[in-house]
Structure 1
C-alpha cells in the first residue's frame, strides 16, 4: 500500500469482516443517528489507518429524512478510533413531489439482492454507462431516485481506470426518460 493514497477494495455488507464492522461500530457510536453499514470502500495509511465506509443514516427525530454518507474512521497506533471525515452523499428531500427519495437499506445493496428490481437497476446502470469512456464502472449501491424530466437514479460506483488500473469511488446520476438512459452527472467521492 502506498502511504497517503486510498487502497480501494469495495466489500458489500454481507462480505465485510467482523473486524471492519467493529471499527465502524466503535467509530460511529454516537447518539442521535442510526447508521446502517452498507459498504466498506478501502483503507489508507495516515497516522494509523483510515478506513472508508458508506452508511445509510437516519436521525432520531420526528419524521426523519434518511441520507447516505461517506464516513472515514481513523484507528491510531494505540487502537483509538475517531471519525476524521463525514460527508453526506445523498439526502432525501422534505417533499416527495420532485424531491429525492432515498432507497431503503434492504433495496440499496443491488449486488447482493436477488430480485427483478435489483436486476433492472443494474441493467439501467449498464445502459446509461455504455458511452462513458476512460473508466470501467461497476454499480455497488443504489442510493435513490428523483422524478425529474423522467427519473434520475443515483448509484455509488467503483470506477477503474482502463489505462493504469487505479480505482476510485463515484456518485453516478443516470436519467431515464421514456426509453433513453443517459448519464447526467459523475461526481468524485473517494
Structure 2
C-alpha cells in the first residue's frame, strides 16, 4: 500500500468513526428527549429534578463495560421492565434517525444508544428518586406512546427539544446547531411572541 492509499484509508476510518459518534449522540439525544418529555408531561418534572437526573449521566464514562446490560436485567427482574418493548422502540426511532442507510454498524450504534438512554434514566429514577415498579412500567408505556406520536403524527423531534429547552432549561447542542442552520423552532406557532 502506498502513502496515498494509507492516507485515504485513514481519512475514511476517521470519517466513519465520526459518523458513528454522531449517530450514538443522536440516538441518546432523541431517546432522552422523549423520556424527558414524558417525565415533564406526566410527572411534572422541571428544572431541579432534571438537573438531578442529568447528574446520572456525568459518571457513565467511569462505569465498567456492560453496566447497561446489568442495569437492564435488574430492571427486568425486579421492576417488570419490558426489554423487548424497549428494543423495538429503539429500532423504530433508529429508522427515523438514520433514514434508509444500509450501514448496519451505524444503525446498531443508534439503536443501542436509544435503548441505553431509557435504561439509564429508569435506573436513575429507581435509585435516585426511589420509584417503584408500577411507576417505572407506566413511564415505559408513556414513552412508547410518545414514540408512536413522533412516528405517526410526524411531529419533529426539534419541537420536543425546544419545549424542554424553554420550559425546563435543558440544553441540546444539536438543537442549537439545527436552529443556527434552519432558524428558530417555533413551538408556539407565533402565538406567544419571541422565546
TMscore range, shorter length = under 0.3
Larger strand fraction of residues: 1
Higher relative contact order (CA 8 A, sep 6+): 2
Which structure dedicates a bigger proportion of its chain to helix? 2
Structure 2-normalised TM-score?
0.27
